[in-house]
């Protein structure tokens, strides 16, 4: 990929073998390690580390001081808040090499993970889920779910525009910003067409 198709600050380190999409911006002291696949129009804040083999979709926003470790996949439109943390080993020990035991973490389209949250590896974050600041995710998070706390627990549902959804007696909610309608049925939320 031509350097002219994305921007990298002069202090950024980009290792060989990365694929970086057009319009992506890589800021101060960020390190992109080998064999990463980064989509178009992504933005990496200061002091970000992207480990080998990480895959990020289009329009992923990574705020300052985030490390994305091998095994993490983020789909399009994911937001990773300042200093949030991913893990990739469930039982790390300094003296024991477990590189063959990295657990996968999938963050699906449109999900947001708040500042200082931790996502323990091996769990999926559903589409448009919203992880509150400081939450510690230790299990899968459903699509559109709002989770907070340590360990995280679900306290509600969020719209694709990031507003808390209030469902009526028929299980219908309207996003106050987009006016799109959502349905809660059998413990799952879906957007109505």
Listing DSSP states for 88-105 in one string gives S-SS-BTTB--GGGPPPE
Calculate mean pLDDT across residues 82-101. 94
Q: Are 61 and 94 in contact (CB under 8 A)?
A: no
What are the tens digits of pLDDT across the range 13-62? Answer: 999 999 999 999 999 999 999 999 999 999 999 999 999 999 999 999 99
Q: Give the separation between CA 8 and CA 3, rounded to whole angstroms.
A: 8
pLDDT reported for residue 4: 67
Whole-prediction pTM: 0.95
Q: pLDDT at residue 2 above 70?
A: no
What are the tens digits of pLDDT across the range 124-156? Answer: 999 999 999 999 999 999 999 999 999 999 999
Phi, then psi, of 42 in degrees rounded to 5: -85, 160
Q: Which fold has domain 3-160?
A: UDP N-Acetylglucosamine Acyltransferase; domain 1 (2.160.10)
pLDDT reported for residue 13: 97
Burial of 107 (0-12, 13-18, 19+ CB in 10 A): buried
State the average pLDDT for the chain: 96
Task: Give 149's contacts (C-beta < 8 A, 6+ positions apart).
Answer: 132, 135, 136
pLDDT reported for residue 1: 43
Q: pLDDT at residue 3 above 80?
A: no
Q: pLDDT at residue 89 above 90?
A: yes
pLDDT reported for residue 46: 98
């Amino acid at each position: 990929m031509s350097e002219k198709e994305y921007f990298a600050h002069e202090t950024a380190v980009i290792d060989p073998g990365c694929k970086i999409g057009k319009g992506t911006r890589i800021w101060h002291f960020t390190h992109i390690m080998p064999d990463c696949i980064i989509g178009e129009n992504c933005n990496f804040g200061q002091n970000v580390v992207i480990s080998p083999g990480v895959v990020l979709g289009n329009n992923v926003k990574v705020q300052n001081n985030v490390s994305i470790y091998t095994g993490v996949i983020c789909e399009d439109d994911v937001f990773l808040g300042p200093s949030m943390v991913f893990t990739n080993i469930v039982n790390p020990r300094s003296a024991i090499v477990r590189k063959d035991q990295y657990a996968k973490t999938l963050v699906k389209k449109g999900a947001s993970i708040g500042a200082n949250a931790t996502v323990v590896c091996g769990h999926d974050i559903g589409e448009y889920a919203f992880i509150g600041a400081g939450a510690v995710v230790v299990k899968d998070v459903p699509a559109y779910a709002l989770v907070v706390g340590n360990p995280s627990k679900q306290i509600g549902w969020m719209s694709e525009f990031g507003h808390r959804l209030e469902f009526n007696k028929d299980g219908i909610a309207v996003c106050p910003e987009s006016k799109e309608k959502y349905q809660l049925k059998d413990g799952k939320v879906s957007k109505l067409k």
